[in-house]
Amino acid sequence: MSNIAVNKKQQKSYANLAAIVCLAFIAAMYFLSNHAPATILNNPKLQIFKTIFLSIIMETMPFLWIGVFISALLHVFVSDQAMKKMIPKNPVLGILTASVLGIVFPLCECGMVPAIRRLINKGMPLYVATTFILVGPILNPIVFWSTFTAFRGRPEIAYGRMGLAFAVALAVGLIIYRFVHTNQLRVQVHAHGHSAVNQHDHEHHSHENKLVAVMGHAISEFFDMGKFIVFGAFLVGMLQTFVSQDNLVSLGQGQGSANALMMGLGFILSLCSTSDAFVAQSFVTTFSTGSLIAFMVFGPMMNLKGLLMMSAVFKTRFVLLLSALVVVLVYAGTLLLQYFFLK
């Protein structure tokens, strides 16, 4: 019981933080506009911010809806027992299945996270789910093709990206299988609609309102996940507007620092895994191949937007553990790759 209360508080504090930041921004805009209303609205920075902010939301919206619909359908139509039967008992087999699942379901993380939350709720082991979250956005045909095309002259980059993503996800999956055994889901507590009066509605969904149930769950989850996407888009927009990529790039050109720097850039930019190869391509003259792969492997696995979404699903400590593992493994992996394969 106390556990639930704690989680509830955490969940709220995230939402509150997001709300406060947004409110502060609006307030700032309001006060600034009192001085010179026309100039603030025509400020090019504001225009850039607004365009990036809305653009990310518009781009994510369809995939978010697909994700929440899959989740709602799973919730209403697939029983926990049926779900459990579909998951391989052998952990290594489970992790391998999760790694190649992305080839069959090429979903980006915006659609994946809501679906994954439902799957874990229905009994999918944590290590399988984690592997899928990490590798799904990378190890799929669309991403391979776009990377291969972006680096037409350098096919080893596409292979390196796929291979490293697979290796990192496999390692993380195994580590989680070995060391994490407790439930890591952030328990969802809804502040409304839960009282003794409606307890009976809870057990079943009668036949005629299954459609309403699916839609209701989808909408509910849309708001649940959506706030993180909007907040993430807000932060990404701010960073892209005010932090110059060029200055960042000039920070690290050394062997090891370039890899770390490109990982940071991937984190901040929060690009879709299908489009980041073309952005990486623009760095080809200034950065080493290893650091480009670091950008294209780390970015889809861990980025600002995705991290916020994951924190909606998992406990904060687990998200931190996962981030730490991915940071270390990707960094080490790219150094190894550089040393052995990309001469």
- Stretch 235-264 residues interacting with another protein (CB under 8 A): 236, 240-241, 243-246, 249
Is 113:137 a contact under the CB 8 Å cutoff? no
Among 27, 37, 62, 328, binds another protein (CB under 8 A): 62
Q: Name which of 49 and 127 has its Cβ closer to another protein.
A: 49
Residues numbered 156 to 215 that lie near another protein (CB under 8 A) are 185, 187-198, 201-202, 209, 212-213, 215
Cβ partners under 8 Å of residue 318, min gap 6: 180, 184
Residue 100 to residue 135: CA distance in whole angstroms:
8
Q: Quick one: which segment of 93-101, 133-141, 270-278, 309-317 binds another protein (CB under 8 A)? A: 270-278
24 binds another protein (CB under 8 A): no
Q: Name which of 61 and 96 has its Cβ closer to another protein.
A: 61
Closest CA to 325 of 167, 185, 102: 167
Is 136:103 a contact under the CB 8 Å cutoff? no
For 270: left if phi > 0, alpha if psi spans -120 to 50, otherwise beta; the answer is: left
Among 56, 115, 139, 158, binds another protein (CB under 8 A): 56
Among 184, 259, 274, 311, binds another protein (CB under 8 A): 274
Residue 152 to residue 245: CA distance in whole angstroms:
24
Among 91, 163, 216, 256, binds another protein (CB under 8 A): 216
φ, ψ dihedrals at 274, nearest 5°: -85, -15
231 binds another protein (CB under 8 A): yes
Q: Name which of 100 and 180 has its Cβ closer to another protein.
A: 180
Min CB(171)–another protein separation in Å: 28
Q: Name which of 55 and 178 has its Cβ closer to another protein.
A: 55
Residue 23 to residue 340: CA distance in whole angstroms:
51
Amino acid occupying residue 54: L
73 binds another protein (CB under 8 A): no
Min CB(184)–another protein separation in Å: 12
272 binds another protein (CB under 8 A): yes
116 binds another protein (CB under 8 A): no
219 binds another protein (CB under 8 A): yes
Render the burial of 311-321: b for 16+ CB within 10 Å, e for the rest.
bbbbbeebbeb
Min CB(103)–another protein separation in Å: 19
Residue 91 to residue 262: CA distance in whole angstroms:
33
DSSP string, 243-270: S-HHHHHHH--SHHHHHHHHHHHHHHH-
Closest CA to 295 of 320, 278, 311: 278
Q: What x/- string results for residues 148 through 167 when contact with another protein is judged by CB under 8 A? A: -xx-xxxx------------
Min CB(12)–another protein separation in Å: 5
Residue 75 to residue 278: CA distance in whole angstroms:
37
Amino acid occupying residue 116: I
Is 110:67 a contact under the CB 8 Å cutoff? yes
Min CB(274)–another protein separation in Å: 7
Among 10, 59, 91, 97, binds another protein (CB under 8 A): 59
10 binds another protein (CB under 8 A): no
38 binds another protein (CB under 8 A): no
